[in-house]
Amino acid sequence: MRKTARRSMAETTPKKKRLVESASRLFHRQGVEKTTLANVADDAQVALGNVYYYFKAKDDLVAAVADKRAGGIEDLIARLDTRHDPHERLQGLVQAWVDDRFLDALYGCPVGSLCFELARARGPLSENAARPFKALLGWCEAQFRQLGAGDDADCQALHLVSALQGVSLTAAVFGDPELIEKEAKFIGHWLRSLQVHEV
Amino acid sequence: MRKTARRSMAETTPKKKRLVESASRLFHRQGVEKTTLANVADDAQVALGNVYYYFKAKDDLVAAVADKRAGGIEDLIARLDTRHDPHERLQGLVQAWVDDRFLDALYGCPVGSLCFELARARGPLSENAARPFKALLGWCEAQFRQLGAGDDADCQALHLVSALQGVSLTAAVFGDPELIEKEAKFIGHWLRSLQVHEV
DNA sequence: GTCTATAGTTTGATAGAC
DNA sequence: GTCTATCAAACTATAGAC
């Protein structure tokens, strides 16, 4: 009757989904280039040759993971949009980074690291690499505009997204999740200063 | 008599140095994992088998490039330290990012991307991955302290380094160097606001 | 020091039985 | 749909002539 989360997933979840989830985790920890299809197949408990039934080539699996990342950002945005005011929504975004700080301080932001790896390669996959960033920047800009930022809203959005991406990278370089907490507090002060300016 | 910069380097520079410089450029553009020793040997115009006379293994070449990156940051800091006041020194740091914006918007910050790739692997090379970041953060903290930041100096240093790293990544994802200019202006305003607060 | 040739693995991808 | 077996290419690294 004892079941670990992984085993129960391995037994119940369809193989295609398991492959994407294993790839998602391994791409985060090792990067796309260092992760082999044998790694993914093994982690998902799928025979190596069977991977090609679900994905014609490695790039198709990478594209599926990239879509999952973009969807994750869009889901996060949708959850934040249930909050009442733009200041709380932006603070919620920062809090999402704090929530993930232990994993991100080991392997970086899963979205940033993957999108960067795909964009730098400048192959066919780099087309959609900017999608999560476009969503995030556009959403942040709308929040800052509602805070009364006016023509500065796009600069503030870029600054916020950059700070979050940058601290994920820095924390990963040091392996220290407290850096994310520290930067989150700093950003929190900044956001609060914009709000009181507004009221 | 006509000589391109590359060819003249290929003919006059010692092979070991050429290998490190080719590796440095290729690691920036493709990442360590995607770059093969054949790529490096070809770019440096050195026979593949000869690479192993200078570097026992690929990791030794990677370590040499990592040292070069750390040295580059330390040189930059040394150049900035010739300036008269901490505000000008910090603005000079931001300007260094603007100067490199065209290359960084294609392939990211060479320091950040390499240090992150090495740190994430959590192998023997990740030991020194934090060295350039440690130098940068320590130096920035000293500048902010001289600006009268007090106990906030370390938070401000982390924020500045994060913003620079983050915007390099974001600009690379979009392939847009103007994002670096935009964020540099925003940071410039922030630094100026700290200075007038001081005076 | 420099080169060619190649060993020994690993990798993405395919073939074909079940 | 799933599996085993395997190919062809690419990679790190070595051997050995010069």
pLDDT digits (tens, 9 = 90+) for A12-55: 899 999 999 999 999 999 999 999 999 999 999 999 999 999 99
* A176 vs A104: CA distance, rounded Å: 9
At B157 the pLDDT is 99
Interchain pair B161, A166: CB under 8 A: yes
Of the candidates A91, A125, A177, A182, the one whose C-alpha atom is nearest the C-alpha of residue B153 is A182
CA-to-C1' distance for B145 and C11, Å? 52
Which residues in chain A have their CB less than 8 angstroms from residue B169's CB?
A: 112, 116, 162, 165-166, 169
What's the whole-number average pLDDT of chain B? 95
At A12 the pLDDT is 83
Q: Report the predicted TM-score, pTM, of the whole model to 2 decimal places.
A: 0.95
Percent residues over pLDDT 90 in chain B: 91
Q: In this complex, which residue's CA is closest to the C1' atom of nucleotide C11?
A: A36
Q: In this complex, which residue's CA is closest to the C1' atom of nucleotide C16?
A: A49
Q: How many CA atoms lie within 13 A of B14 on its CB side?
A: 3
Stretch B44-72: mean pLDDT: 98
At B90 the pLDDT is 98
At A1 the pLDDT is 44
* B121 vs B135: CA distance, rounded Å: 21
Q: In this complex, which residue's CA is closest to the C1' atom of nucleotide D4?
A: A49
Interchain pair B165, A164: CB under 8 A: no
Residue B2 has pLDDT above 90, yes or no: no
CA-to-C1' distance for B51 and C1, Å? 11
Of A33, A106, A158, the CB nearest to B182: A158
* B19 vs B58: CA distance, rounded Å: 11
CB contact at 8 A, B35 and B26: yes
A17 touches strand D (CB under 7 A): no
At A7 the pLDDT is 56
Which residues in chain A have their CB less than 8 angstroms from residue B122's CB?
A: 106
* A50 vs A41: CA distance, rounded Å: 8
Which residues in chain B have their CB less than 8 angstroms from residue A27's CB?
A: none
Q: Which residues contact B67 (CB under 8 A, 6 or more apart)?
A: B128
* A146 vs A127: CA distance, rounded Å: 31
Model confidence pLDDT, tens digit, residues B18-53: 999 999 999 999 999 999 999 999 999 999 999 999
End-to-end CA distance of chain B: 57
Given a cut of 50, the residues of chain A with pLDDT beneath it are 1-3
At B117 the pLDDT is 98
Percent residues over pLDDT 70 in chain B: 92
Domains in chain A: ranges and CATH: 1-55 (1.10.10.60), 66-198 (1.10.357.10)
At A129 the pLDDT is 97
B42 touches strand D (CB under 7 A): no
List, in sequence order, every beta strand (DSSP E) within A128-183: none
User: What's at A28, amino acid-wise?
Assistant: H
CB atoms under 10 Å from CB of A199, counted, come to: 6
Of A31, A154, A167, the CB nearest to B33: A31
Which residues in chain A have their CB less than 8 angstroms from residue B101's CB?
A: none
Which nucleotide in the DNA or RNA is closest to residue A33, CA to C1'? Answer: C11
CA-to-C1' distance for A164 and C9, Å? 40
At A2 the pLDDT is 47
CB contact at 8 A, B129 and B115: yes
Which residues in chain A have their CB less than 8 angstroms from residue B158's CB?
A: 167, 170, 179, 182-183, 186
Residue with tokens 């993930």: A100
At B1 the pLDDT is 43
Which nucleotide in the DNA or RNA is closest to residue B34, CA to C1'? Answer: D11
Model confidence pLDDT, tens digit, residues B3-23: 455 556 666 899 999 999 999
Give the minimum alpha-carbon distance from B58 to chain A in angstroms, rounded to a whole number.
15
At A160 the pLDDT is 99
